[in-house]
Amino acid sequence: RQCHGLVDPHTPFVPPLESLPRSDTPSPKEAMPLSQEDEGVKVLQAAERLFALAATGPLAEFEAGTAPLKGTKLGEIGDARRRTLLHAAASKGQDDIADYLVQKHDLKVDAEDEAGETPLALAASGGHASTARLLLDAGARPHPSRPGTAGPLHCAAAAGSVATVELLLAAGADLGVDVGSGPPLFWAAGGGHAETVQALLRAGADPNARSANGMTALFLAAAAAHGRRVAGGAAAEAEAAAAASLACVRALLRAGADVAASSNGYTPLHVAAECGDEGLVAALCEAGAPLDARDGAGNTPAELAASWQRGAAVRLLLRLQRPEESEAALEEAAAALERDVAARDAERQAARKAAGGGPAAAAAAA
């Protein structure tokens, strides 16, 4: 997935040496004209510094940094990813430098890097709404530059920038464009950005849009917090991520998301059970999630929770399935389920190992 918004200032491309101005200043060491090789090194160093200044500013230093490249069109200079100086400035929200490059040097606002990302997409990735506005005012297109490449709206959604999302929508960005990993709503939900999810839903995003594998935004919202926990971090951060994930799920459910949507039997409740998120399990069940749905391997949500050793989620799911039973009975049932699932999983693993792995082994273990 793109939308990383990072700029690599190294190994810039500059026009051929013969098109660059020659220096008449003798070498400090040898007091003789610079060789073509020396001049090339000097130009490359100046270009590298200019890329760094485009991302950090200030404008005065950036302008001064163009002096060694006098006579070279700034729009012809690119880095190893074929990004321009405007990409570098936009990715870091350097409005004054971006405006200078567009207005004074006519850099192309829709220039694409090797991945098809434009300066507007990088500004959106960083949540730089003011930079995005500047580029749109200069004529930047708010749509994906090529099929399969994340557009500015996808990038803004992934960044959780409501201001940038609303700006792009006002400019005509398409809510429904699927670039291979879902429309913008998927990107916001997968990042746990509840306010952005709500903004997209208000604008008319389909809460039941499906990806090629049958997933909906509800699946991604349910898994959002788990991804952050796996990445590590403090308990407070994990708690905040869980709350954000839950807020996304509730926003989608209020908008009419199908709580029983499945991909080969796998439902959002399976996601919550696998992650062991009790809050999500409770919210999905309250909305009518099927407790007896079975995924492609035949697991119910409770069995999947047991397989992943999510004890609290197992007990909550059983409690919801058997509200009339006592706590002692539920505890006994949970322990029995965990033993049965552990034994079954061990048998499946042994079958896979005996079959040597691969599709045949998976079929034998099913």
The tens-digit pLDDT sequence of the chain (366 residues) is 445 433 333 334 333 323 333 333 333 333 334 455 566 678 889 999 999 999 999 999 999 999 999 888 999 999 999 999 999 999 999 999 999 999 999 999 999 999 999 999 999 999 999 999 999 999 999 999 988 889 999 999 999 999 999 999 999 999 999 988 899 999 999 999 999 999 999 999 999 999 988 899 999 999 998 755 555 557 788 889 899 999 999 999 999 999 999 999 999 999 999 999 999 999 999 999 999 999 999 999 999 999 999 999 999 999 999 999 999 999 999 999 999 999 999 998 999 888 886 555 554 455
Structure tokens at 65: 């940094």
Task: Decide if 175-254 and 259-366 have a common fold.
Answer: yes
Tell me the fold of 175-254. 1.25.40
Domain spanning 259-366: which superfamily?
Ankyrin repeat-containing domain (1.25.40.20)
Q: Where are the domains of the chain?
A: 1-172, 175-254, 259-366
Instruction: Give CA–CA dist 203/170, Å, rounded.
Output: 10
Taking the CA atoms of 129, 133, 134 and 135 in sequence, report the sign of the dihedral they define.
positive
The SS3 assignment for 364 reads helix
The reported pLDDT for the residue numbered 339 is 97
Architecture of domain 1-172: Alpha Horseshoe (1.25)
Report pTM: 0.83
Spatial separation of the C-alpha atoms in residues 322 and 284, rounded to whole Å: 17
What pLDDT score was predicted for residue 279? 95
Provide CB contacts within 8 A for 222, sequence distance 6+: 245, 249, 268, 271, 272, 275, 277, 280, 284
